[in-house]
Amino acid sequence: MFRGTGCACATLPLSPWLSGRAVKLAKKSAPFAFDVVILGSGAAGLSVALDLPSHLSVAVLSKQAVGGSTPWAQGGIAAVVESTDSLESHVQDTLVAGAGLCNEAAVRHAIEAGEDSINWLVEQGTHFDESDGKFHLTREGGHSHRRVLHATDATGAEIYRALVEQAHARSNLRFFDQRVAVDLIVDKSLPVNERRVTGVYAYHLKKDRVQTFAAKAVVLATGGASKVYFYTSNPSGASGDGIAMAYRAGCRVANMEFNQFHPTCLRHPDAKTFLISEAIRGEGGRLTLPDGEPFMQRHDPRGELAPRDVVARAIDFEMKRLGAEHLYLDISHKPKSFIENHFPTIMQRCAQYGIEIDKQPIPVVPAAHYTCGGVLVDHQGATDVAGLYAVGEVSYTGLHGANRLASNSLLECIVWGRGAARHIGESDLPEIDLARYTPWDETQVTDSDEDVVVSHCWDEARRFMWDYVGIVRTDKRLLRALHRVEMLQSEIEEFYSNYRVSGNLLELRNLVQVAELMVRCALERKESRGLHYSLDYPESTETGTPTIISPRP
């Protein structure tokens, strides 16, 4: 059976054996054609779009109208903008948080571009909080100085507002929402080092059909894969689509075992994904047991300001020790006016669930928050496949190492997004020949009458990943997870091959592929380091190296 699998579609004419119906369908559904197609409309994707030369036509595809995880980011963006701080201090804080696995060149590349990135965001219309005519800076876990710029506790939403406003004013940009990418278009008959991406298949959620987007360059800005876990702070679209597609296209992935669990997600049955910003701890919030006793000093001398992996493990340990469903984060000792000024969004949201944070502690649990690994890229965001770039959480740049320092993620989006835009603008892009694109063919598949299978697979995958590949791991748990992954992959491939695609099926296919990569990376690391903690190997080795998974032939 032929379906648009991403194979040879831009180098061969229409398959001669396609049915007459399929050819007619192809004529009615000619491919969209753009110089650059960007998958994802968050800070990373919009940074690329806004910094590309204006003569290039650009398509921005997204699942929804909102910008991925960016509007959910509360804390801020880290950069050295004060004379009392230093680039070297920010570099060292990042290296320490990364537990010996950061690429120092990548760290310096990002941090040295920090102030310029802030100035660019301000030029785009971003309004950061100020005090006495200067940026108001807060401090978060792992930082030795106050260097986190913010817009109250809704920094991501403010950055997204400014960038999307600018993007909609650009005549060379066109937005396509309600699209879930199916696969990248590459000629898989070629060796990996000779492949070039020439577009993408995308499923239209409302029209229930797959469309072809031809492109000279494709940028993955699809975010991370925290939806692979049952409890997550991420929006529902964080299913690892870009990582899975890039791997299938021939890209290497790295450090997928390092999944950051944010220590403090609101524990309430009606607020499963609401994050309680680390900035609350930065401003004096205390983590306590159910009886009100602080406990972080027993786990780390830095207390509440220890890096996220340390704090998450401490909370996980105390919850298991006590058999508690959650612990607490208490900021109620601060004046109400202080809380209202610094954390209005959190205060309002908690109040919706009957929690008055100026009077009582907030119930919290750790939740999957950030994918520190991803598609292997260089300083321009270029991947192993020519013409394909990856920026933001979907990528592995070397900045984060074995753990991400708080508020470095938005900085990474801007630095690598703008770098990819410059590289594309300076490249000699190939011409597009629309006659060489094979259309997506659904003439040999049927509608599914068993969609319940997809929902059951979703639930099973996320639960066993939480149980076996969570904050604390063992080889036995990882092997159990790998066995279940392989069983699910067989079922999903059979389903994908015989039935028409749907948004849920496409996300499930990608999510389980990413789950496999996470488990394989975790099994290869015979030590505990950063976000990967194994009871079988509780110590760190003297030197650590990235875990790199090459695509299968």
Buried b (16+ CB within 10 A) or exposed e, 511-535: bbbbbbbbbbbbbebebbbbbbbbe
Among residues 363, 198, 366, which one has the least CA distance to residue 269? Answer: 363
* Measured distance CA(171)–CA(149) in Å, rounded: 31
Burial of 342: CB neighbours in 10 Å, binned 0-12, 13-18, 19+: buried
Q: Report the alpha-carbon distance of residue 380 to residue 165 in Å, rounded.
A: 25
What backbone phi and psi angles, to 5 degrees, belong to 310?
A: -65, -45
Residue 404 annotated to the active site: no
Instruction: Supply angle C-alpha 510, 514, 142, rounded to 5.
Output: 130
Residue reference for tokens 């753990």: 403
The two structure tokens encoding residue 349: 């949201």
DSSP per-residue letters across 447-513: --S-HHHHHHHHHHHHHHHHHHSSSSB-HHHHHHHHHHHHHHHHHHHHHHHHB---HHHHHHHHHHH
Tell me the one-letter amino acid at 108. Answer: R
Q: Is 214 helix (H, G, I), strand (E, B) or coil?
A: strand
Integer Cα distance of 91 and 88 in angstroms:
5
What are the two backbone dihedrals, phi and then psi, of residue 365, each rounded to the nearest 5 degrees? -140, 155
Q: Name every residue whose Cβ is closer than 8 Å to that of residue 237 and which is 6 or more positions away in sequence.
A: 63, 64, 68, 223, 227, 507
Measured in Å, how far apart are the chain's first and last C-alpha atoms?
21
Which of the residues 161, 248, 267, 308 is marked catalytic?
308
Residues 6+ apart with CB under 8 A from 199: 9, 10, 31, 37, 184, 185, 212, 213, 214, 215, 218, 437
Q: Give the separation between CA 35 and CA 153, rounded to whole angstroms.
A: 37
Report whether 67 contacts 82 (CB < 8 A). no
| Catalytically annotated residues | 308
